[in-house]
Structure 1
């Protein structure tokens, strides 16, 4: 009886072994992506963006047609395009845009740099974080619009006050993401670096920065868009140039197409800056594809 069961067992094993390659091929065939579906997904995202834009413009025209709004209330896309061409040709748009860009880049650079340094110090010192964190959080409860007039009074209506507003608005997301990024580093990797007798600089450049970069870029993406808002808020309160100043000026003259031109220019700046951050992220984190 035992030998009979043993024989049957061997036969079953042989049958399963002979069936396994066929099963693997069947599973592989079932899981193999369909070529046309791959092709569709690849081009769907490319087609979706212009379709959304067409839908937006069509809705815009529909609202004007239904409401019969005059040009100074809601201009048509053609009116905005005409005004955009006019401001490009006479240099008005670029003159104000370069002022805003200068404020954005300066405020973003110094705001993120200071936030990263302070965030690193707080991430390495929990006691210091418990003391300082409540004050940092409390400062975020104060609206930027409320602080902007004070900064204009203290530092004037020049570039300095706008840069400070940008720094304040980008500081918090960069700080929080730095703390989270540094504290997310694997403790075992710290032990490994310590066992290799690595210096602080080696640990910082070879372990902490590469490990924290994905989180740091998350904060930078938020900071980039907020920096545009910070510059415009400052220009709204007090300025003699910039896209925020241009919006205020156009609003006072009831030049609504120019208001739209300035708004769309700010949107374009934010999208370009966000895209540059994504490109930088993909380039610096290309090693993750092989990890």
Structure 2
């Protein structure tokens, strides 16, 4: 008597169900470890402040920082400054990613263009952004545009390099196959090059997402009347160290949220790509 046949859908459901349970347990352990490490850090911080008897303008206690956090949340100043920085970050990241992706694709397909432009691109990255930020403020003013340009310049290079690397990593045999099938340039881009280079491209976006926050703060440090960088500068001038800690913690949280958003998009896009590949093979 033959054994009952198990359908592919049933087997896939069982496997993915077990994988989902393991993944949930893994996420739970990571969350517990994160919370435990955070509590330990706050405890050590409190002990150091208590034993050293530091004044608040040198090293505030976690309680003092929490109190200052409550004040800036109550008067809504933290939300307004965070919104300004977030707009600058998103606009700069989008602008820098757009130009970096377009130029990176062109350089990946043209060795001549790479040889001509590479020295200038490398030279632009050798100049510290902090040094040229005042010049950008003179050119573009003290408003939103100068901060967006600073963000774009910071995120430009890592996304550019990953774009060139990702596009050049596409299998040559698949490119020849697309040519044999007489696929158009747009079909080759969307059906072959983008899916194949996607993991490398997203890695560049992860780096750019975190660097864009630094770019916004650098621009706000030079000239601004709002934003988290302005809040940091205000805390420095007034010796309001708890406010500096609040602004720094908000910047870290903002960078984590941006990185997590890109990582989530990576999971969704790569899962869709794997499903399309498995569907084509079935």
Aligned partner of 2:74 in structure 1 is 89
Query: Superposition pairs for residues 220-231 of structure 1, below 5 Å?
Result: 220-231=205-216
Q: 2:128 aligns with which of 119, 130, 143?
A: 143
| Residue 178 to residue 260, structure 1, CA distance change in 2 (3 Å) | same
Asked whether 1:203 is paired with 2:182, we answer no
> Is the 8 Å Cα contact of residues 231 and 247 (structure 2) preserved in structure 1?
yes
Structure 2 counterpart SS, 1:285: helix
Structure 2 counterpart SS, 1:244: helix
Aligned partner of 1:66 in structure 2 is 51
For 2:24 and 2:143, locate their aligned partners in 1 and report how far apart those are by CA, in whole Å.
53
Q: State the TM-score, normalized to the length of structure 1.
A: 0.84
| Residue 38 to residue 173, structure 1, CA distance change in 2 (3 Å) | closer
For 2:75 and 2:175, locate their aligned partners in 1 and report how far apart those are by CA, in whole Å.
59
Asked whether 1:175 is paired with 2:160, we answer yes
Deviations 1:234-276 (A, max 9, x none): 1011111111011111111111111111110111100011110
Q: 2:245 aligns with which of 241, 248, 260?
A: 260
Structure 1 counterpart SS, 2:225: coil
Structure 2 counterpart SS, 1:198: coil
Asked whether 1:112 is paired with 2:89, we answer no
Q: 1:185 aligns with which of 144, 165, 170?
A: 170
Any runs of at least 4 consecutive aligned residues in structure 1 with deviations exceeding 3 A, and if so which?
A: 37-43, 287-291
Aligned partner of 1:102 in structure 2 is 87
For 1:193 and 1:38, locate their aligned partners in 2 and report how far apart those are by CA, in whole Å.
38
Q: After TM superposition, give the deviation of residue 55 of structure 1 in Å.
A: 1.6
For 2:223 and 2:25, locate their aligned partners in 1 and report how far apart those are by CA, in whole Å.
50
For 2:25 and 2:44, locate their aligned partners in 1 and report how far apart those are by CA, in whole Å.
27
Q: Name the Cα RMSD after superposition.
A: 1.7
Query: Superposition pairs for residues 234-245 of structure 1, below 5 Å?
Result: 234-245=219-230
Q: After TM superposition, give the deviation of residue 39 of structure 1 in Å.
A: 9.3
Deviations 1:63-90 (A, max 9, x none): 2122211111111111111111111110
Q: After TM superposition, give the deviation of residue 202 of structure 1 in Å.
A: 0.5
For 1:168 and 1:112, locate their aligned partners in 2 and report how far apart those are by CA, in whole Å.
10
For 1:123 and 1:38, locate their aligned partners in 2 and report how far apart those are by CA, in whole Å.
37
Q: After TM superposition, give the deviation of residue 287 of structure 1 in Å.
A: 3.7
For 1:202 and 1:265, locate their aligned partners in 2 and report how far apart those are by CA, in whole Å.
43
| Residue 288 to residue 162, structure 1, CA distance change in 2 (3 Å) | same
Aligned partner of 2:198 in structure 1 is 213
| Residue 273 to residue 133, structure 1, CA distance change in 2 (3 Å) | same
Query: Superposition pairs for residues 7-18 of structure 1, below 5 Å?
Result: none
Q: State the TM-score, normalized to the length of structure 2.
A: 0.87
Long gaps (5+) in structure 2: 1-21, 278-282
